[in-house]
Structure 1
Amino acid sequence: MKLPLSDLYKESDRTYALALLRVIIGVFLIRKIFFNITSGEILYGLDSFVAHEEIYFLGLFELSSSIRNFHSELTLIFSILSVLMIFGIGKRLTILFVFFLFELFQRMNGLVLNGGDNLMKFILLYLVFADSFKFYTINKSNFKNTVLNKLNNLCTRLSAYSIMIHLCLAYFVSGIFKMHADVWFNGVASYYTLSLERFQGTPFNEFLAQNGYFVTISTYGTLFLELYFPVLIWIKKIRYPLLIAGILLHLSIFTLMMIYDFQFVFIMTYCLFLTNKEWENIIHWIKSLKKFTRKWKVRKLHRI
């Protein structure tokens, strides 16, 4: 996909997706805080099972372990900032503080993290530089100065593409590592995964593990998606089928293996691969579908 250099200074065509991503992340963080709040002392306090470990904030300098005494206050501040981020209050500065606190909690207990948490951290960092306040915000961003407006457009475009490229790299690296594992290379990884008690998400796992067709297709299908997603996603004609395949993959992992947050983070980044015009068409289609459903219900009631 070619992008003329001059177009980088034009308004991004992914501002709707960026705003949607900002809101979804805010809701996701509040949910995460809500589920961890009762375990705060065990996860982040002085009595935590990792309390003896050193805390290197941003990997640059060490923080005093006494900060664990304030994990409750930090959790409250984190939740408030997440709400402010949802409504676009404070704009980039709010997202910056959310990023700092998210990083701090990760450093206070890294044993409970997954790949989704790592990706989330970088998404927050990219959003600091993006103008995600064109939609779903109390005060929309408005730069009257031409230079500032162009700089804002440039940062927004680069931030959006940074998130998309980062996702592609995450898939590709994961696929490369899987290729070097015998169970994946030989097409039997799904069998071993579904057979483990830890991943018994449904009563059908054992049946699926014994189905050779399902095991082979799901194993090599996952490899194909991760290795070729970074290339095929930029081809417009197959973008929708590829996104649907990715969503189905993550939903199946969510359902069958009970791996939750990881899947949600990856799926929500998909919204950036659709432009404002495409989102407008999708919303229009949903509204039309709702109108059709209402009319159908009314006709059904009249018939009765």
Structure 2
Amino acid sequence: MNVFNRIAQWNQTQHMLMGASLLRIAYGTILLYMYLMHYAQRAFLWGPHGIYTLEDSRVDAWFNTSFSLYHLHASPLYFEIIFHAGILVTLWFIIGYKGRIASIVQFIFAWSLFARNSVILDGGDNIMSLLLVYLLFANMTAYFSVDSYLKQRRGEPTQITVPPGFAHMRMRNLFHNLAILACMLQVCIMYFTSGLHKVMGELWQNGTAIYYILQVNEYTHPFFQQLISSSELLIVAATYATIVVQIAYPFLLVNHRTRYVVMAGVVGMHVGIAVVMGLFTFSFVMIANQLLFLRDREYNAISQFTKRCVERIKQRWQRKNEQVSDPVREGVVSAKISVFYDGWCPVCRKSMTRLQKWDRSNQLVFHSFREKEVLTRYQLDFERAEKRMITREERSGRMYEGIESVWLIARKLPVLWLFVPVLWIAMVLGFGQRIYDFLAERRAIIPVGSCEEEACEWQESERHIP
């Protein structure tokens, strides 16, 4: 009896409303991205006379007991109507007006698109289709939607705690909560079974699966293939980390502390898949699924923390702007970081200009090491400065090079704070400096300025120019 009382108490409110609302926006954005990405080639990819003919698609749908609105007529005009209607329905779904009806119509159009040509999809459509079925019974417009805005105007609360007497309201809560629970279980089962299948594979057992995945040209980039394949430690670590994250995922979600760790691991894994393998929509769908695993109070805490950070940054910038100081002191003495870049590199100059705009608190001072007085004044080694960007902390005098300089600059600019942990991981694992050197060696160098003597100084260092 105690168990039933707990279930009844749990069912008095709808849970994970913010996560469901954010997932609605994420799924809608992903589908809109697919529509717009393929818009110019829509007739070739999805049309009745395209690469996957309507007859073949109908046969495939018949064997799979599926359906598609695109199968109802072979007219190009009909295809254009359905395709553009799908775009409008997706926009309707994103804004969240009449959420229950919009969810049903969106599911029909999304399923129809996936069933029309499954050959060009990357797998993210499978889990999205499953979750969209469950989400038909969920409240996905409680937040960030037209429905929620209209409720606020009418004075209706977003969340209603239902007393035991209102049976129909409890059933509405039950449908929502079970739908969210089904989505969460589906994601957990997906990762757990995927991890078990990997464990049974010989290549995953000996830690070389990632290496062989990178050899498939359709799912990798030559740059990342060469970079990752050059590090045996990175390959083995990525292979085993993938297995551990997927198998441990359902169990680590139980504890609120380990949940954040495993969710971060899953997000990192799919970011790697998106960047290295180019499976963008698949990765975006998988990352979007994580939105369901945070409670509403956790989203509120994140929102409050973000507001406090933004307010602190605004106050800090305001204090800096109100301070009137001597330009020399402001530029040299009080500067926290000196950045020595290649003034003959057009990309470098543009990057420094952009960083200078972002540096509202004047923490960075930029110098081109190509200027003779800079080398003399700061006692820089020309070859080191030419190979990698150098930064120096004025207070401690500590020098940084390459990716370390990028990391230091990112720490000082709020707009780049999101990349600080990524850069730190790249430095620790060692591949960050390799990526930096790879790009730096291939930068374009165009000498600028004039020579006071007959021989230009840049000719002496010509051997260093890639």
Deviations 1:73-94 (A, max 9, x none): 1111111111111222121111
Taking the aligned partners of 1:24 and 1:101, their CA distance within structure 2 comes to 16
Alignment match of 1:216 (pick from 236, 259, 262)? 236
Amino acid at match of 1:229: Y
Q: What are the residue-to-residue correspondences of 1:143-222 with 2, within 5 Å?
A: 146-201=166-221, 203-222=223-242
The alpha carbon displacement at 1:127 in A equals: 1.5
CA contact (8 A) 1:57 1:103 kept: no
Does residue 77 of structure 1 match 2:80?
Answer: no
Alignment match of 1:287 (pick from 296, 307, 322)? 307
Runs of 5+ unmatched residues, structure 1: none
Deviates more, 1:72-81 or 1:275-284: 72-81
| Aligned residue number for residue 259 of structure 2 | 239
Amino acid at match of 1:295: Q
Taking the aligned partners of 1:54 and 1:197, their CA distance within structure 2 comes to 27
Q: What are the residue-to-residue correspondences of 1:14-33 with 2, within 5 Å?
A: 14-33=16-35
Does residue 53 of structure 1 match 2:56?
Answer: yes
CA contact (8 A) 2:57 2:117 kept: no
CA contact (8 A) 1:12 1:157 kept: yes
CA contact (8 A) 1:208 1:215 kept: yes
The alpha carbon displacement at 1:61 in A equals: 6.3
Q: What are the residue-to-residue correspondences of 1:32-181 with 2, within 5 Å?
A: 32-51=34-53, 52-55=55-58, 56=61, 59-60=64-65, 65=71, 67-69=73-75, 70-140=78-148, 146-181=166-201
The alpha carbon displacement at 1:111 in A equals: 0.6
Deviates more, 1:44-53 or 1:255-264: 44-53
Alignment match of 2:294 (pick from 261, 274, 279)? 274
Runs of 5+ unmatched residues, structure 2: 326-466
Taking the aligned partners of 1:89 and 1:194, their CA distance within structure 2 comes to 44
Amino acid at match of 1:197: N
Aligned residue-pair number: 303
Taking the aligned partners of 2:67 and 2:140, their CA distance within structure 1 comes to 32
Amino acid at match of 2:269: L
Amino acid at match of 1:247: V
Deviations 1:175-205 (A, max 9, x none): 1222232211211011122344334447343
The alpha carbon displacement at 1:209 in A equals: 1.2
Say what the alpha-carbon RMSD is for the aligned residues: 2.4
CA contact (8 A) 1:84 1:94 kept: yes
The alpha carbon displacement at 1:254 in A equals: 1.2
Relative distance call for 1:37 and 1:204 in structure 2 (3 A) is closer
Does residue 261 of structure 1 match 2:281?
Answer: yes
TM-score between both structures, scaled by the size of structure 1: 0.91
Taking the aligned partners of 1:131 and 1:58, their CA distance within structure 2 comes to 34
Relative distance call for 1:61 and 1:115 in structure 2 (3 A) is closer
| Aligned residue number for residue 346 of structure 2 | none
The alpha carbon displacement at 1:173 in A equals: 1.9
The alpha carbon displacement at 1:62 in A equals: 6.3
Relative distance call for 1:54 and 1:206 in structure 2 (3 A) is closer
CA contact (8 A) 1:95 1:128 kept: yes
Amino acid at match of 1:17: G
The alpha carbon displacement at 1:278 in A equals: 0.4
Deviates more, 1:42-51 or 1:192-201: 192-201
CA contact (8 A) 1:57 1:104 kept: no
TM-score between both structures, scaled by the size of structure 2: 0.61
Secondary structure of the structure 2 residue equivalent to 1:294: helix
Secondary structure of the structure 2 residue equivalent to 1:114: coil
CA contact (8 A) 1:57 1:107 kept: no
Taking the aligned partners of 1:300 and 1:95, their CA distance within structure 2 comes to 49
Relative distance call for 1:188 and 1:68 in structure 2 (3 A) is farther
Secondary structure of the structure 2 residue equivalent to 1:300: helix
Deviates more, 1:143-152 or 1:223-232: 143-152
Secondary structure of the structure 1 residue equivalent to 2:223: coil
Does residue 9 of structure 1 match 2:16?
Answer: no
Taking the aligned partners of 2:16 and 2:67, their CA distance within structure 1 comes to 38
Relative distance call for 1:229 and 1:61 in structure 2 (3 A) is closer
The alpha carbon displacement at 1:58 in A equals: 11
Relative distance call for 1:191 and 1:54 in structure 2 (3 A) is closer
Deviations 1:134-163 (A, max 9, x none): 111222477999333211111111111111
Secondary structure of the structure 2 residue equivalent to 1:67: coil
Q: For CA contacts below 8 A with separation 6 or more, give which structure has more relative contact order.
A: 1
CA contact (8 A) 1:17 1:271 kept: yes
Relative distance call for 1:9 and 1:292 in structure 2 (3 A) is same
Amino acid at match of 1:251: V
